[in-house]
Copies of this chain bind each other. A is one copy, B any other.
Amino acid sequence: MKNHNKTDWAGCPVRYAAGIFGDKWCFILLRDILLHGKRYYGEFLTSEEKISTNILANRLAHLEQTGMLTRHVDAQKKSKVFYLPTAKARALLPAFLNIMVWSTEHDAQTEAPDSFAKAMQQDPIKTVEYYQRQIDAADARCHSTSNS
């Protein structure tokens, strides 16, 4: 999709979302961050889907530019870099969990347990809060000297 700057893609809510994560790799990266606790560049590279390093760098920059992630240098080992989800990215969690409910109900090969969709149906607020705490826990494992 050509010649669409950030402003072009603002306005319509669906188009705005598509401009930020309407791309398979951004979708996968947000999953890794919001649901798999990944934070480090090296961790994203090892995901099952085998993203290549130039594309990873490109998408991390995109997510940083759109206010979804912030980049940080590791305090213990300055050659390592991690990315933390912003409040904006964290706010996507409910939408993502709803997408996942849909997938578990329509993908015959789903790997998600029945308990997940059930939990979301019975008490969505509590379920969302559970996953939010997981995000906090993943963030807590990362320490930077100052911001970059």
Contact = CB atoms under 8 A, between A and B. Distances in A.
Interface of A: 1, 7, 10-19, 22-25, 27-28, 30-31, 35, 48-49, 67, 88, 91-92, 94-96, 98-112
Given A91-B105, A95-B102, A17 B27 contact: yes
B106 A95 contact: no
A27 B35 contact: no
A104 B10 contact: no
A103 B14 contact: yes
Contacts of A91: 102, 105-106
A98 B100 contact: no
A123 B89 CA distance: 24
B18 A27 contact: yes
